[in-house]
Structure 1
Amino acid sequence: MPFFHWLRANSEHALLADAQRRMATKYGANPPARPHGLKDRWWRQVFAPAYRILPWGLRRTTMQAIPGSHRRGWPKPDYLPPGDY
């Protein structure tokens, strides 16, 4: 698995679990399972809270610097369809 794919998958998982935990706390629902192992604890107890406190501009700059699906734009058409001048 390429490094940036691994980084994105782990960060998305940790941020999703953190958001679910915060919503469960806020609305009195059952939270997701606690972190298992050192790796999971680091992602959910260090990375997710640190990411949440970063200003949006820094988050955006970081996301733009790392290759991934968020950088894909709409493909440029080779031609203009009839009637779309």
Structure 2
Amino acid sequence: MPVSRWLRQHAEHQLLVVAQDRVGRQYGGARPRPPHGPGELFWQRVFAPAYNLVPWSLRRRVLWAMPGSHRQQWTSWAHPPGRRPPGV
């Protein structure tokens, strides 16, 4: 498995886990298990909060710079609603 694919899969999964935890706390649902090991601790306590602080314009540039098939799949939905540049 290429490193870029591994990185993307782990980043997506851990961002999902953190988002589910946030929604669970907001609405009083069950909390997921705490992170196990230094890897999960890094992804959930360092990477996810840092990623959420990065502006969308910078995230988009980084994602476009990474190799992978996601570039062919991205079209007009590459921008959140209300933030699309003119002509897209």
Q: How would you bin the TM-score normalised by the shorter chain?
A: 0.7 to 0.9
Q: 1:16-60: CA deviations, max 9, x gaps?
A: 001001000110001222110001100111000000000010110
Note the residue ranges of structure 2 that are not aligned, 5 or more in a row: 75-88
Q: What residue number does 1:13 align with?
A: 13
Corresponding letter in the other structure for 2:30: N
Residues 1:60 and 1:19: Cα distance change in structure 2 (over 3 Å): same
Corresponding letter in the other structure for 1:10: H
**TM-score normalised over the length of structure 2:** 0.78
- Partner of 1:57, secondary structure, is helix
- Partner of 2:6, secondary structure, is helix
The structure with more radius of gyration: 1
Q: What residue number does 2:51 align with?
A: 51
Q: Aligned-pair distance for 1:68?
A: 2.5
Q: What residue number does 1:34 align with?
A: 34
**TM-score normalised over the length of structure 1:** 0.81
Post-superposition, which runs of at least 4 consecutive aligned residues in structure 1 deviate over 3 A?
none
Q: Aligned-pair distance for 1:73?
A: 4.3
- Partner of 2:31, secondary structure, is coil
- Partner of 2:34, secondary structure, is coil
Q: Percent identity?
A: 50
- Partner of 2:16, secondary structure, is helix
- Partner of 1:72, secondary structure, is helix
- The count of residues paired between Structure 1 and Structure 2 equals 74
